[in-house]
Amino acid sequence: MLESLKIVVVWTHLPAKALDISPVVFYGAVSSVFLMLYFISRQISRWKVGKSSCYWNIERLEALHPLRLEKLVTALFAEMGYRTNHTPNNGGIDVIAQKVAFGRVPIGRPIGIQVKRYTGAHKVTVDIIRQAAAIAIDPTNCCQSAIIVTTSSLTGPARRSSARFRTIKRVIEGEQLVYLICRFIPHYEDEKLQQRLITFRKIWSYLSILVVLMAFVLAILHLLVSI
């Protein structure tokens, strides 16, 4: 079987020489396995948790202090695959989030997140939508798009307005916010447990990257030695 993996490389200045690429295939397989395990572990950690076992609901979110809610949203987006920074009192931007791969490599532009803790009939109005859109296009900010997160919902005009602004990337309303929290950080009220989970995922992501890089380097070294 391994003999079938041999190819012949003919150089113009050297005689033909057999090049065994079976170790390269092996290193590639190891890398693929670790990448697969990495993504499987991410999906398992994000397994949907039933609301019956989730601590959070609309009433508890509405009862939070605004800064506490901003920190919760910061943790939520971190678990959703973003690099986050809580920025209270920053001209309307409460959280800055940037999509990353493998927990570290940026793959998108920063997004400004506005968090609105509204209760009862108090809904997000057109003025809030326009403010978020204006912040997103402000050249003094690092963000070029915005996400609005609220414990309430949008008024009809605000919903239509958000659909017209291209800089409004997403709007997360009450029930959807509860769903996302229960899916990604259902145990956020236990900060020690949540921190241990985050630490474990970071270690696993770094280990996966290290194994893939080592396999790549070993494959290149083997090819250079074999030539």
Cα–Cα distance, 219 to 200 (Å, whole number): 29
pTM exceeds 0.85 for this model: no
The closest of 41, 1, 3 to 20, measured between CA atoms, is 3
User: What was the pLDDT predicted at 197?
Assistant: 64
Of all residues in the chain, the percent with pLDDT exceeding 70 is: 67
Q: Which domain holds residue 30?
A: 2-45+203-226
- DSSP labels for 80-143? TTEEEEEEEEETTEEEEEEEEETTTEE-S--EEEEEE---TT--B-HHHHHHHHHHHH-TTSS-
Residues 60 and 104 in one domain: yes
User: What was the pLDDT predicted at 155?
Assistant: 94
Query: Quick check: is 187 in a domain?
Result: no
Banded model confidence at residue 118, pLDDT cuts 50, 70, 90 = very high
Dig out the tokens for 46 from the structure: 């994000």
Residues 100 and 133 in one domain: yes
Residues 128 and 213 in one domain: no
Q: Where residue 75 sits, what CATH number does that domain have?
A: 3.40.1350.10
Residues 160 and 124 in one domain: yes
Q: Is the pLDDT of residue 20 over 70?
A: no
Last residue of a domain, one of 134, 157, 175: 175
User: What was the pLDDT predicted at 180?
Assistant: 94
User: What was the pLDDT predicted at 203?
Assistant: 75
Cα–Cα distance, 78 to 97 (Å, whole number): 8
Residues 60 and 40 in one domain: no
Banded model confidence at residue 11, pLDDT cuts 50, 70, 90 = very low
Residues 62 and 166 in one domain: yes
pLDDT digits (tens, 9 = 90+) for 32-72: 676 666 666 655 555 544 444 678 899 999 999 999 999 99
Residues 164 and 68 in one domain: yes
Residues 105 and 134 in one domain: yes
Total number of domains in the chain: 2
Residues 92 and 69 in one domain: yes
Residue 47 CB partners (closer than 8 Å, separation 6+) = none
pLDDT digits (tens, 9 = 90+) for 178-198: 999 988 888 776 555 556 666
Residues 38 and 74 in one domain: no
Banded model confidence at residue 125, pLDDT cuts 50, 70, 90 = very high
Higher pLDDT, 77 or 213: 77
Residues 84 and 166 in one domain: yes
